[in-house]
Structure 1
Amino acid sequence: MEKQWKIDITLEEDGNRTACTATLAGEGAPRVTGHGYSRRSPADAPDSRIGDEVAASRACSNLAHELLEQAAGVIEQHTHSPAHLTG
């Protein structure tokens, strides 16, 4: 059986700072959201693409950690033992 989940990315920029929310979506997808931020150094030239990419990568990384934590919680509910997820 094939399942398909997607990550919805929402970016908000205020000129020097970019905030990103990454949300897992799709049928049967767990409700998980990640957040990431970037801030432009005053010495750097404005380039919104860089801020978007940094904030999005941080939000996706946070989402991955949140998803792994959620999976560990489900494992612990089933096994009644601490989950040890590595790798």
Structure 2
Amino acid sequence: MTATKTWNTEISIVEVDSEVRAEARLRGKDGGQLVGQGTARCNPADENVPDIGDELAVARAMSDLSHQLIQRAAHDIEMHTARPVERLRV
């Protein structure tokens, strides 16, 4: 059996002064969603390059989202098998 599923990720970036906040919102499974968050700050001694702050904040938000998805999968496995999951690898 072959099935195609689509999950969508929306990323929002907000920059205030020298701080960038990113939010990665994953929508998919049964209409549910997960939200990952990430932040980046420009060191006052560094040159302000907004694209770098965006990249760092988004990468951190996606990493947070990834960890939440692994935790959810581990929980779902435990509920299905009635046994604890020792460790899932990313």
Taking structure 1 as the reference length, the TM-score comes to: 0.90
Residue pair 1:36, 1:58 contacting (<8 A) in 2 also: yes
Structure 1 regions of 5+ residues with no counterpart? Answer: none
CA deviation vs aligned residue, 1:38-79 (integer Å, no higher than 9, x gap): 000001122111110000000001100000001111111111
Q: Which residue of 2 is the match for residue 54 of structure 1?
A: 56
> 1:2 and 1:40 mapped to 2: Cα distance?
41
Residues in 2 aligned to 1:70 and 1:22: alpha-carbon distance in whole angstroms: 16
Identity, % of aligned pairs?
A: 37
Cα distance, 1:29 vs structure 2: 5.8
Q: Which runs of 4+ in 1 moved over 4 A?
A: none
Equivalent-residue separation in structure 1 for 2:8 and 2:67 (angstroms): 16
Give the superposition deviation at 1:31: 1.8
2:88 aligned residue: 85
The one-letter code matched in structure 1 to 2:88 is L
Aligned length: 87
C-alpha separation between the residues in 1 aligned to 2:29 and 2:72? 17
Aligned counterparts, 1:11-22, within 5 A: 11-22=13-24
Q: What does residue range 1-87 of structure 1 map to in structure 2 within 5 Å?
A: 1-26=3-28, 28=30, 30-83=32-85, 84-87=87-90
Structure 2 gaps, min length 5: none
